[in-house]
Every structure is written in structure tokens, then in C-alpha cells.
Amino acid sequence: MSQFKEISPLEITENPFQLIGKDWLLVTAEQNQQCNMMTASWGGVGIMWNKPVAFTFIRPQRHTFGMLENSEYYSLCVLDNRYRDILTFCGTKSGRDVDKIKETGLTVEHIDGVPYFAEAKLVLVVKKLYAQNMNTESVKEKAVLKNYRADGTDWHKMYINEIVRVLVKE
Ligand SMILES: Cc1cc2nc3c(=O)[nH]c(=O)nc-3n(C[C@H](O)[C@H](O)[C@H](O)COP(=O)(O)O)c2cc1C
């Protein structure tokens, strides 16, 4: 925490399209003292129920999915370009098969018991407010379906999360 300063969500000046879609996020959670992270490039930030929120979309096949389901809080970390290979690794390997903390050498720290990475340039600590399974029946534009299996078993779950703390590298 010492290398970070805490700011409010309103003070985030970076472009969210860049941060999420281009830089990518590490979605990080912990369960039974096991920490795991996965890369995410789909999501968003905004306001819901008058709160600053972050949206994440996680497929049920992810190891991280089970951890999120069992966590009230988790974190979203943005790392700079030096860590691109690590982000690719965390987006192609599952915590079911490898210990990603060990393999990447990233440094886990905690804030209020929530894991995040010392190497991050920006950390959002989030609290789940709402979660809903997405589904074929709700699709309004057929082109969306090409992202999903015909049997519909890989639909994302949408999480709307309150942004409760924001840390930026000093
Ligand atoms: C650039 C990139 C973005 C990704 N975005 C998402 C995402 O938004 N949601 C999702 O469920 N999976 C996404 N993934 C896939 C997961 O990161 C990947 O399946 C990962 O291996 C899951 O790890 P886990 O099984 O340890 O949770 C993305 C992968 C990459 C490489």
C-alpha cells in the first residue's frame, strides 16, 4: 500500500476504454487463502444506484468464477505494458492447472483482506452489488450470438460491483 495513494473514483483521469479494452484488467480474488487472477478485457465503469460501479463479465468455466461467487469483495488491477506477457499468460492459463502467482512472480498484497498486486498502476477494490446470468433469450442483435456456443453453456455472468477503494501508484 505504501507505494500507492488512495483517490476517489471521480479522480480517475485515464480513459476507461483504454484501461479495460486495451491495457486489460486482472480480476483477482481469494478463497481459502488461495489467490487467483484472470485477465479480462470486457467490462465497464459507470454509475448505478447512485454509486460508482465497475461491470465485469465472467464465464462460468473460469476458475476465477467460483472464487468470485464466494467473495463479497475482489479487485481489478491495471498493469502497464511491461507486464503484457503476464496478462496474456493469466488470460490463457487456468488457476485450476497452474499456480499463477508462483508462475508470474507477481506480488500479492491485501487491502481490507482483498488481494491485489503491488505491480499494478491502478487498483479498484470492488464489492459485488448485483449478478445476473446473461442468456440467449435476451439477445436483441443476432451477431452477439457468435460469441457463444450453440448450446449456450458459456454465457457470461454480469457482475455490477461498487468501487469501494481506488489505489494509484505514486
Ligand atoms: C485479453 C483477454 C481478455 C479476456 N477477457 C475475459 C473476460 O472479460 N471475461 C472472461 O470470462 N474471460 C476473459 N478472458 C479469458 C480468461 O482470462 C481465461 O480463460 C483465463 O485462463 C481464466 O483463468 P482461470 O481459469 O484461472 O480463472 C480473457 C482472456 C484474454 C487473453
104 lines ligand 1 (CB under 6 A): no
Distance 79 CA to ligand 1 centre (A): 15
Give the span between the Cα atoms of 129 and 151, in whole angstroms: 28
pLDDT tens track for 61-114: 999 999 999 999 999 999 999 999 999 999 999 999 999 999 999 999 999 999
pLDDT of residue 1: 64
Contact 166, 54 (CB under 8 A): no
67 lines ligand 1 (CB under 6 A): no
95 lines ligand 1 (CB under 6 A): yes
37, with CB counted inside 10 A (0-12, 13-18, 19+), is buried
Q: Among all chains, which residue has been given the C-alpha cell 446473461?
A: 134
What is the CATH code of the structural domain delimited by 4-169?
Answer: 2.30.110.10
What is the average per-residue pLDDT within 30-39?
96
Q: What nine digits make up the cell of 72?
A: 463479497
Q: What does each C-alpha distance from 43 to 12, 66, 76, 102, 106 come to in angstroms? A: 16, 18, 11, 27, 23
pLDDT of residue 134: 98
